[in-house]
């Protein structure tokens, strides 16, 4: 009985720490919009391909575009933004999550924009 209780406590603690980590490393589209309207130092990195930026979802104004498959090799291009928050966006949030992890591993302050451009466009229609 003790072992079951112990493992339950350990698994719960692990799940909570993962959730807290994800919250620290992510932001909602609404949070991003607020930061941009308040004139924060947030930089937007779009990790989609250049073709996607001219596709139906378009792009946000002022983005830096480095496709996810090139990010590790081109990370030095972001060096001048090391002291700023970098909001990482893609189509739906999967590639930007990977990009956020790459940037944070390399000492940047990056946050994944949850839902990506799909959520950004949906929120513009409301």
Q: Which domains does the chain have, with CATH numbers?
A: 25-125 (3.40.250.10)
Confidence of residue 126 (pLDDT cuts 50, 70, 90): low
H or E element that contains 56:
none
55 DSSP 8-state letter: S
Q: What percent of the chain has pLDDT over 90?
A: 73
Q: What is the pLDDT of residue 18?
A: 39
Global pTM reads 0.81
Q: Is-contact 63 44, C-beta < 8 A?
A: yes
Percent helix, strand and coil across the chain, each rounded to 5?
A: 55, 15, 30
Coil, helix or strand for 11?
helix
Separation between Cα atoms, residue 5 and residue 45, nearest integer Å:
44
Separation between Cα atoms, residue 37 and residue 84, nearest integer Å:
16
């Amino acid at each position: 009985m003790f072992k079951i209780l112990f493992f339950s406590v350990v698994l719960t603690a692990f799940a909570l720490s993962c959730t807290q980590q994800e919250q620290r490393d992510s932001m909602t589209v609404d949070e991003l919009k607020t930061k941009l309207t308040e004139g924060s130092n947030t930089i937007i990195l779009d990790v989609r391909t250049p073709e996607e930026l001219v596709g139906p979802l378009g792009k946000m104004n002022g983005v830096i575009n480095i496709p996810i498959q090139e990010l590790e090799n081109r990370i030095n291009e972001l060096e001048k933004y090391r002291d700023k928050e970098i909001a990482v966006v893609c189509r739906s949030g999967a590639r930007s999550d990977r990009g956020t992890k790459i940037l944070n591993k390399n000492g940047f302050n990056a946050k994944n924009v949850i839902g990506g451009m799909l959520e950004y466009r949906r929120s513009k229609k409301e």
